[in-house]
Amino acid sequence: MKYPLSEKYSAPALMKKIMGPNPLKLEEELLTNHRIPAGSLVCDLGSGQGLTSVFLAREYGFTVYAADLWSEPEDNRRFFAEMGLTDAQVLPVKADASDLPFAPETFDAVVSIDSYHYFGRDPAFLDEKILPFVKAGGYIYIAIPGMKKDCHDNLPPELLLSWTPEDLETMHDAAFWRSVISQSQGAEVLEVSEMISNEEVWADWLRQENPYAVGDRKSMNAGAGRYLNFVKIVLQKKPAKG
């Protein structure tokens, strides 16, 4: 596919902000023909250093809460200002997805790139920890690194050159995620599918001199990419009962 929006952000200074396979191209693919209404309040869940939040605000016109655990909100606020965005457009928030600091039904949508696999593998997580903060009828768009086919009982040696079995425990195939997500009582599953941007987003990441990207090259140069993919999940919160 073509990435006309992401390509505007290919400058090296911006690519330094990525924390894994190009999250903007993943976000652009994820949101192709999306259903989130214009002007929505969106939670970028696991926003990292904020590039995906800038993208949501500037390219889609959403008001964004950039919610993240490992990054520092003040660093992200400085970055947002450098990108010409105010707190009214993108607000950085220190937040743990398992204990979000928001009022009930705050968001029209949640968008999450390369993060949900860290915290969302328990089938109860979505209903208990995320859906309470989404308005009835609101959307959840997720893109996560996964496997073409789960192989945790017999991990190929190429994968173990860069990652431990514990690292790989977060990565699963589309069938695993479909089974996790379809246990939700509160959300309708609109789509679970493999994404097409896999090779493209990995190539952008492996070009970076970030030590994590350098570490990932061992596996990827040995051909580990043939076991990996990205999984797209789209959900809609059901209306309240009664």
Ligand X SMILES: C[S@@+](CC[C@H](N)C(=O)[O-])C[C@H]1O[C@@H](n2cnc3c(N)ncnc32)[C@H](O)[C@@H]1O
Q: Where on the chain is the footprint of ligand X (CB under 6 A)?
A: 18-20, 23, 46-48, 51-52, 68-71, 95-98, 113-115, 118-119
Q: How far is the CB of 97 from ligand X (least distance, A)?
A: 4
The CA distance from 84 to 79, in Å, is 9
User: Of the two residues 71 and 229, which places its CB atom closer to ligand X in the complex?
Assistant: 71
Sequence-ordered list of residues with C-beta below 8 angstroms from that of 100, at least 6 positions apart, any chain: 67, 129, 130, 133
User: Of the two residues 41 and 69, which places its CB atom closer to ligand X in the complex?
Assistant: 69
Q: How far is the CB of 241 from ligand X (least distance, A)?
A: 29
- DSSP state, 196? S
Q: Cα separations (Å) of 9 from 5, 6, 72, 204, 206? A: 8, 5, 22, 12, 17
User: Of the two residues 74 and 188, which places its CB atom closer to ligand X in the complex?
Assistant: 74
Token digits of residue 36: 């989130």
Q: Cα separations (Å) of 31 from 8, 23, 28, 221? A: 16, 12, 5, 30
Q: How far is the CB of 27 from ligand X (least distance, A)?
A: 8
User: Of the two residues 48 and 138, which places its CB atom closer to ligand X in the complex?
Assistant: 48
Q: How far is the CB of 242 from ligand X (least distance, A)?
A: 32
User: Of the two residues 174 and 213, which places its CB atom closer to ligand X in the complex?
Assistant: 213
Q: How far is the CB of 20 from ligand X (least distance, A)?
A: 4
Residue nearest to ligand X (CB): 48
CB burial of 107-127 (b: ≥16 within 10 Å; e: otherwise) equals bbbbbbbbbbbebbeeeebbe
- DSSP state, 32? T
Q: How far is the CB of 116 from ligand X (least distance, A)?
A: 8
User: Do residues 175 and 151 lie in contact, with contact meaning Cβ atoms separated by under 8 Å?
Assistant: no
User: Of the two residues 99 and 153, which places its CB atom closer to ligand X in the complex?
Assistant: 99
